[in-house]
Amino acid sequence: MKILLFDIDGTLIDSGGAGRRALEQSFGEVCSIDNAMDGLPLAGKTDPLIIREALENNGIRSTQKLTDRLHASYIKHLKEQMVTTEKALKPGVKRLLEALRNNGHRHMGLLTGNIMEGARIKLEPLGILDYFSFGAYGSDDPDRNRLLPHAQRRYAEATGRDIPVESFAVIGDTTRDVACAKPYGAMSIAVASGFHTMEQLRAAGPDVLLPDLSDTEGFIKLAG
């Protein structure tokens, strides 16, 4: 049985662009910059990496103090955006999570570019936060390719079981989700329900490629 690590945006939920708008609001509030995300690809990147690149694009030197202020402002605006923005679960997600739990997957996790508090703010209003008992987040490391060991450690802390990274499966909608599993020999399950197309994901070489998460029975067979 694989230990499942789910991405959030584009995989589990459609937040209606709440994260992007909150980031732009934070740059406006802290740095007096409008439209700071213009021209910056966000798909699959961690929040800290996005903030660093946006600062560089606007000729601003990144410091810990400035980054902390941007994170705090982002969280404030994300809370507001998740109240006012039209949002939804991706097809089949609630049914799948419930079926996985009933099928023995008691400890499912997150592997996401969101900072930890941002992940909570996005998942809680849609009623699926409690399915996840651990996770690895952009706040752990700005490089998504270094997040899987954090998930492995947190799984051990949550369960008392040390298991190899090869026992994990990373589920996500971008080529970066696929790439972050490969160095560790973890299974990569790509879903074309978000930012990247089937063709783009296929080129990244995932172990499994799905259109979305609506085939509950098929997914359970894959996950064990």
- From 37, 60, 84, give the residue that closes a domain: 84
**What is residue 117's predicted lDDT score, i.e. its pLDDT?**
97
User: Model's pTM, two decimal places?
Assistant: 0.94
DSSP per-residue string spanning 178-199: HHHHGGGT-EEEEE-SSSS-HH
Q: What is the side-by-side strand order in the sheet with 132-136?
A: 132-136, 108-111, 3-6, 168-172, 187-191, 208-210
- pLDDT at position 135 is 97
Residues 50 and 160 in one domain: no
The domain of 80 spans 18-84
Q: Do both 204 and 109 map to the same domain?
A: yes
Give the count of domains, the chain.
Answer: 2
- pLDDT, averaged per 10 consecutive residues of the chain (224 residues), comes to 95 95 95 90 93 93 94 97 94 96 92 97 96 97 97 96 95 97 96 94 97 95 82
pLDDT, residue 1, reads 86
Residue matched to tokens 């359970």: 220
Q: Give the domain CATH number at 212.
A: 3.40.50.1000
Q: What number of CA atoms fall less than 13 Å from residue 205's CA on the CB side? A: 7
Residues 65 and 170 in one domain: no
- Indicate if 35 and 137 belong to the same structural domain: no
Are residues 43 and 7 part of one domain?
no
Integer Cα distance of 173 and 43 in angstroms: 9
Q: Are residues 45 and 80 in the same domain?
A: yes
